[in-house]
Structure 1
């Protein structure tokens, strides 16, 4: 599942495709695209919250 989420984020933020365009490209509903994007960033936020103090100077 992480691979699918990664692809969705890359298409959205780096190729600037819309949720609808990504859904059409991957043959999935745009609501699935939205879920993959939001859950990916929730996961990233949790990771950063947990590890932020490791990068302090």
Structure 2
């Protein structure tokens, strides 16, 4: 008859997502930040193009 070995800590670990409460809130915030970053990049590109025309 086989004897049971004690469980390793890693086997009892629920994983990194166990502490996430509202995944919808997090994904909404991330998509908002991504949109803001894209807008800023477009603004920077427009400013650079305008400045290049002045030279």
TM-score normalised over the length of structure 1: 0.42
Q: Which structure carries more helix by proportion? A: 1
Q: Which is higher, the Rg of structure 1 or of structure 2?
A: 2
Of structures 1 and 2, the one with the larger relative CO (CA 8 A, separation 6+) is: 1
